[in-house]
Structure formats: C-alpha cells, structure tokens
Amino acid sequence: MLLALCGLALLAGAALIGAALATPPDSHHHESGGNIMPSAVDVGFLQDMIVHHQQAVTMSEIVRSGAGVEIAGLADVLRGNQLLEIGQMTGFLQVWDKPLISSIAPMDWMSGGAEGHQAHHDGSQHDAMPGMATQEQLNRLGELAGSAKEVYFLQLMVRHHQGGVLMADYAATHAATPQVKALAQRIAVEQSKENQQLTAFLGQRDP
C-alpha cells in the first residue's frame, strides 16, 4: 500500500541496485571467489526493514498535517531518506529474485530475536519488530495537533529509530553480502545521527 506512495523512488532504487549488482559476462570475480549469495539474514533484514521504514514514512506523513514548520520540515527529510532506502532494499530483493514480503515470522533472521525485545506478539509484523508503533499509537498521532502532536511524533520516532539501529547493527555484523552489510552500516549511522536531532528537538519542547 505504501509502496504505491514511493512509485518512482522504488523504480529508481531497483534500477540503481540492479546496475550495481550486474556482473559483466566476462567477469568471474576471481578475487572474491565468485558472487556471494544472500543469506537468510540478508533477505530477512531487507524484508523486515522495508516494513519498518514504511511505518516511518507513515508517521512522517501524519505529522506533516498539524505540526509546525520546523517539525514538518524534519518529517519531510526523514520521509525522503526512508523512501530512498526502501527503493534500494527493494532493488536488492528484486535482483536476487526474493519476495518483498517475508513468508516467515518477522525477526526470525535475528538469532534469538532482537536483544531486549520480547517476542510476545500475535504474528503481525508491527508487534514483532523493535521500535514499531502500534495502530493505536498511530491513531493517536493523527488525532493530536500542535505541540502535543510534535512531541508524540518525536517520542515515537526516537523509539522507532532505536529499533531500526538494533536491526541494522545485527545485519551489519551477520549479513553475508557486502552490499547488505554496507547498507545496514549506513542505516545504523544515519539513524543514530537523526536520533540525536530528534532528541534535541524533543528537549526543546515540554513533554
């Protein structure tokens, strides 16, 4: 549903990733011993992180209505970053001929589950992934306005990014392919930096 929102971003991301991963017919990658096949961690991380990013896009869309210029602008930046990465992750999965939606339980690619995250859930992706907001929380965000809306958005997004960093750190260490390792490392660094900004904005507002 949200993939329809990003249309061109997804197509562009898929095209760029496809070009990056394409191997010339006369090249056999002797240096690396051949192409490295994606593991369950590579595929599971991409599938789950797409869902995780989609919720950040949703929250950013919600807060843009009813928030001040500063937070609305921040939401636009976050939304753009998430959509670009959704396109890149979609591109990897398409090139590897893997489904965009996982057929297994969310977070199964992390052995033992996310650290500090209890896997008590009803099978839905939103309940199983660290940092994800519930539907009730999204509904409340949509109902609030002004400063209350901004504060709640910042609180939800800080927690959301913390969960994303947790997932990305694991993938950066355990993924098989250099492409996913690099992407996961970048996501972890970028979302950690964004959380510093989100926390600073939160500190400027009364909770």
Distance CA 51, CA 177 (A): 21
Half-sphere exposure of 201 (CA within 13 A, CB side): 27
Contact at 8 Å (CB) between 113 and 171?
A: no
**pLDDT given for residue 35 in this prediction:** 82
Confidence of residue 80 (pLDDT cuts 50, 70, 90): very high
pLDDT at 42 over 80: yes
Q: Are 47 and 102 in contact (CB under 8 A)?
A: yes
Can you tell me the mean pLDDT for 9-38? 47
Place of tokens 């609305």: 72
**Mean pLDDT of the chain, nearest integer:** 82
Rounded CA separation 66/128 (Å): 30
- Per-residue pLDDT of 167-202, as tens digits, reads 999 999 999 999 999 999 999 999 999 999 999 999
Rounded to whole angstroms, how far apart are CA atoms 127 and 178? 29
CA–CA separation, 74 and 26 (whole Å):
46
With 60 as the cut, is the pLDDT of residue 27 above it? no
